[in-house]
Amino acid sequence: AQRVTQPEKLLSVFKGAPVELKCNYSYSGSPELFWYVQYSRQRLQLLLRHISRESIKGFTADLNKGETSFHLKKPFAQEEDSAMYYCALGDYGQNFVFGPGTRLSVLP
Amino acid sequence: GAVVSQHPSWVICKSGTSVKIECRSLDFQATTMFWYRQFPKKSLMLMATSNEGSKATYEQGVEKDKFLINHASLTLSTLTVTSAHPEDSSFYICSARDHSFSGANVLTFGAGSRLTVL
Per the omega criterion (within 30 degrees of 0), is the bond before A100 cis? no
For residue B102, what pLDDT band results from cuts at 50, 70 and 90?
low
In tens, the pLDDT along A16-44 reads 999 999 999 998 877 889 999 999 888 89
| Beta-carbon separation of B110 and A43 below 8 A | yes
| Beta-carbon separation of A34 and B105 below 8 A | yes
Kindly list the residues from chain A whose CB atom is less than 8 angstroms away from the CB atom of residue B106.
34, 46, 49
Please indicate if any CB of chain B lies within 8 Å of the CB of A103. yes
Nearest CA in chain B to A41: B111
In tens, the pLDDT along A91-107 reads 766 677 889 999 999 99
pLDDT at B28: 85
